[in-house]
Amino acid sequence: MKINLILLDSSLELVPKEIISHPAVIRNAKKRNKKAEHTLLDISLHYHAMKDLPNREKRGRPDIVHLAMLMFLTEQAPIKGDFYIHTIDSKLIYVNNEMRPPKNYNRFVGLAEQLLVYGKVPLNSNESLMKVLDIRLKDLKQKYKLGVLSEGGKRVKPEELCNLGEKWLLGIGAFPHGDFSEEVKEVADEYFSISNYKLETHQVICRLISSCLQQLGWP
């Protein structure tokens, strides 16, 4: 039993060129001794700069991705399958499921910036912990069926998703507000819901892991 997981429309991106000259962006970059275009978009730092950005309600929350990675990748059980991150600007990132993401958020930010600027981390290794792939979300359909977790999806018990099989890739939104992009909707094979309530990204992952481990007798 393994869970293949992908974070969808993830709120993880570098500062876009539209706001590269905004004082808030320049101030943060200068403080960190980095080029503005090499820093993560973060609404807690760039709130005023983001006011006129399109789709702003879904952007600037890399902390959601960080928490989701911690929840899934620090699990020691043998249920961890393939793991990907699909970003709001349509990048597709492979994540080695043996990776141990930094628990400190600032360290995660530095790692994510390196990944998005240079395409992989670490830079000096043949085996990447994270890598930006030269394919799109739709290309994963050659390997998986995509089941998207959504409030409006077919109501199922979490343990049912554990038993779908390794040909399924479970997609969870990793953005604060709004709906899935058309890119996601076009490739989704099925929509599932595991709660009557709106759950945050890390809560969905926690329920999935717990349900699968319960079936395995809590190894």
- pLDDT by position in tens, the chain (length 219): 899 999 999 999 999 999 999 999 999 999 999 999 999 999 999 999 999 999 999 999 999 999 999 999 998 778 899 999 999 999 999 999 999 999 999 999 999 999 999 999 999 888 899 999 999 999 999 999 999 999 999 999 999 999 999 999 999 999 999 999 999 999 999 999 999 999 999 999 999 999 999 988 887
- The boundaries of every CATH 3.40.1280.10 domain in the chain are 3-12+60-215
Q: Is 152 annotated as a binding residue?
A: no
Q: Is 18 annotated as a binding residue?
A: no
Q: What is the pLDDT of residue 218?
A: 83
Q: What is the pLDDT of residue 124?
A: 86
Say what angle helices 62-73 and 105-118 make with each other, to 10 degrees.
Answer: 100
Q: What is the pLDDT of residue 100?
A: 93
Beta bridge mates, 193: 155
Q: What is the pLDDT of residue 27?
A: 95
* DSSP letter, residue 128: -
End-to-end CA distance of the chain: 13
Q: Is 90 annotated as a binding residue?
A: no
DSSP string, 18-41: GGTT-HHHHHHHHHTTS-GGGSB-
Q: Is 211 annotated as a binding residue?
A: no
Q: Is 147 annotated as a binding residue?
A: no
Residue 58 CA to residue 64 CA, distance in Å, equals 11
Q: What is the pLDDT of residue 75?
A: 83
How far from the centroid of its chain's Cα atoms is residue 203's Cα? 14
Contact (Cβ atoms closer than 8 angstroms) between residue 172 and residue 202: no
Contact (Cβ atoms closer than 8 angstroms) between residue 30 and residue 55: no
Q: Is 196 annotated as a binding residue?
A: yes
Question: Is 53 exposed, middle or buried, given 0-12, 13-18 or 19+ CB atoms closer than 10 A?
Answer: middle
Q: In what order do the strands lie in the sheet with 92-95?
A: 120-121, 130-132, 92-95, 80-87, 3-10, 168-173, 145-155, 190-193
3-state secondary structure of 108: helix
Q: How far is CA 28 from CA 20, 22, 106, 114, in A?
A: 11, 10, 13, 17
Beta bridge mates, 131: 94, 120
Residue 183 CA to residue 14 CA, distance in Å, equals 20
Residue 180 CA to residue 178 CA, distance in Å, equals 7
Of 1.20.1290.10, 1.10.10.10, 3.30.990.10, 3.40.1280.10, which CATH number belongs to 3-12+60-215?
A: 3.40.1280.10
